């Protein structure tokens, strides 16, 4: 492709709503994706939106945005904006996404889709109407774009595991283990919807359903809040940051940890755990799936590796083998480095941009808002079960 052909690509002008941790990751992804992948349209970082004007101005300058604004509604109304990328707390997702879809903008929305199934269902309805006009909507479950996990999906689709029997998923972090770690919006139910359950447990639910191609249809759950209040800080900062503390403590009204068993519609049994208080575990997003012919195991703290067991191996050679998912034949890997050099967390967001832009060509956006609504329904069932002392609760 010549330089002239590259410059003739139709621009895709993006607005990111938010200026925090996720907006930083998404900004890097939008800027980097077209430099390593041959995209059909050329993303342009048009405007970053933050309700804090000074923070927005600084973030826009640092991350390479053309401009910034503190008015998301005005940005959505702009005729030159093609994509609205929502990186704000969950309580704002529905309002922003529905407005953007009605304005004819493609939408990428961070997970979980909303704070409750009702808002998520409204978002699905808006997305379905927009789809009739060629507008796409996708939810940002970025871990799907880890090459090793995408390889696991390929193996399962090819039948390498046979009939799925067991799913074990854990998401373990420790950034809230200190009882004096400062309060954040992620500990405020009004903003976040739930705690570890929706923040990181949602990833495990999505990954499990995506890999197996099956839906969770019932749960039995327990939730725990180990620290009931935390020091207040004067300004919001990044995940796990300290900020300036003023001595007061703010109540915590979300869970610190969640544990539940799950039944899948196809008959598999699942065991799930999510916590932000597992000392020594920084980002241990793990899943193991056992079938009647094979098994896979994955831990994001070793994100370039997939463990695979096959019953088809000779008896004297059976055991989990380590696959380093960095070969050009592995998903996404051909665009990057020589085999064995590995990728990082940021690449999952780059791959997300690649798939999002690809969906504009009719490939289909996944996870769709409808898929994300299913995750939301599982989250709601977990909370309902936990409120009733672990009673088995149907997902509806």
- Name all domains of the chain by residue range, CATH numbers in brackets: 3-142 (3.40.50.720), 143-394 (3.30.360.10)
Is the pLDDT assigned to residue 234 strictly greater than 90?
A: no
The model's pLDDT over 256-266, given as tens digits with 9 standing for 90+, comes to: 999 999 999 99
236 — pLDDT class (breaks 50, 70, 90): very low
Chain center to CA of 211: 15
The reported pLDDT for the residue numbered 244 is: 63
7 — pLDDT class (breaks 50, 70, 90): low
The model's pLDDT over 67-115, given as tens digits with 9 standing for 90+, comes to: 999 999 999 999 999 999 999 999 999 999 999 999 999 999 999 999 9
Please list, in sequence order, all residues whose beta carbon lies within 8 angstroms of the beta carbon of residue 249, skipping any fewer than 6 positions away.
Answer: 183, 229, 230, 231, 232
235 — pLDDT class (breaks 50, 70, 90): low
Provide the 3-class DSSP secondary structure of residue 342. coil
Average pLDDT, the chain: 95
Is the pLDDT assigned to residue 221 strictly greater than 60?
A: yes
The reported pLDDT for the residue numbered 20 is: 96
pTM to 2 decimals? 0.95
For the CA atoms of the chain, what is the radius of gyration?
21
Is the pLDDT assigned to residue 143 strictly greater than 60?
A: yes
Distance (Å, whole) CA 68 – CA 55: 10
Is the pLDDT assigned to residue 239 strictly greater than 50?
A: no
The model's pLDDT over 21-49, given as tens digits with 9 standing for 90+, comes to: 999 999 999 999 999 999 999 999 999 99
Is the pLDDT assigned to residue 290 strictly greater than 70?
A: yes
242 — pLDDT class (breaks 50, 70, 90): very low
Is the pLDDT assigned to residue 241 strictly greater than 60?
A: no
The model's pLDDT over 291-350, given as tens digits with 9 standing for 90+, comes to: 999 999 999 999 999 999 999 999 999 999 999 999 999 999 999 999 999 999 999 999
* Residue 46 to residues 81, 208, 377, Cα–Cα distance (Å): 8, 35, 35
DSSP assignments along 146-202, one per residue: -HHHHHHHHHHHTTTT-SEEEEEEEEE--TT-STTSPP-GGG-HHHHSSSHIIIIIH
299 has which bridge partners? 286
The reported pLDDT for the residue numbered 25 is: 98
Count of CA atoms in the C-beta half-sphere (13 A) of 258: 35
Tell me the average pLDDT across 355-374.
94
Provide the 3-class DSSP secondary structure of residue 107. strand
Of 203-217, 240-254, 316-330, the one with minimum mean pLDDT is 240-254
The reported pLDDT for the residue numbered 379 is: 98
């Amino acid at each position: 492709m010549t330089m002239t052909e590259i410059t003739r690509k139709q621009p895709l002008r993006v607005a990111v709503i938010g200026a925090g941790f996720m907006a930083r990751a998404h900004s890097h992804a939008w800027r980097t994706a077209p430099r390593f992948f041959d995209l059909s349209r050329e993303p342009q970082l048009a405007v970053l939106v933050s309700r804090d004007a000074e923070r927005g101005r600084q973030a826009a300058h640092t991350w390479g945005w053309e401009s910034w604004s503190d008015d998301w509604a005005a940005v959505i109304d702009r005729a030159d904006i093609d994509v609205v990328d929502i990186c704000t707390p969950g309580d704002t997702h529905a309002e922003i996404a529905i407005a953007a879809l009605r304005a004819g903008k493609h939408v990428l929305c961070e997970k979980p889709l909303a704070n409750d199934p009702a808002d998520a269902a409204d978002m699905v309805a808006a997305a379905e109407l927009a789809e009739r006009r060629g507008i796409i909507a996708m939810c940002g479950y970025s871990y799907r774009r880890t090459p090793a996990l995408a390889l696991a999906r390929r193996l399962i689709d090819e039948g390498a595991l046979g009939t799925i029997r067991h799913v074990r998923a854990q998401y373990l972090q420790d950034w809230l283990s200190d009882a004096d770690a400062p309060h954040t919006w992620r500990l405020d139910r009004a903003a976040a919807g739930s705690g570890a359950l929706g923040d990181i447990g949602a990833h495990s639910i999505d990954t499990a359903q995506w890999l197996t191609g099956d839906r969770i249809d019932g749960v039995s759950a327990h939730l725990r809040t180990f620290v009931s209040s935390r020091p207040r800080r004067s300004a919001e900062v990044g995940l796990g940051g300290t900020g300036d503390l003023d001595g007061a403590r703010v109540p915590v009204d979300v869970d610190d940890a969640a544990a539940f068993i799950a039944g899948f519609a196809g008959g598999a049994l699942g065991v799930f755990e999510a916590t932000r208080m597992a000392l020594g575990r920084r980002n241990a997003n793990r899943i193991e799936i056992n079938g009647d012919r094979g098994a896979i195991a994955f831990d994001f703290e070793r994100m370039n590796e997939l463990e695979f067991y096959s019953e088809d191996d000779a008896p004297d050679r059976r055991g989990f083998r380590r696959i380093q998912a960095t070969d050009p034949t592995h998903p996404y890997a051909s665009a990057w480095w020589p085999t064995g050099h590995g990728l990082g967390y940021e690449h999952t967001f780059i791959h997300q941009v690649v798939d999002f832009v690809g969906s504009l060509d009719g490939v289909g956006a996944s996870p769709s808002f409808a898929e994300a609504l299913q995750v939301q329904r599982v989250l709601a069932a977990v909370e309902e079960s936990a409120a009733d002392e672990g009673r088995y609760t149907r997902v509806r």
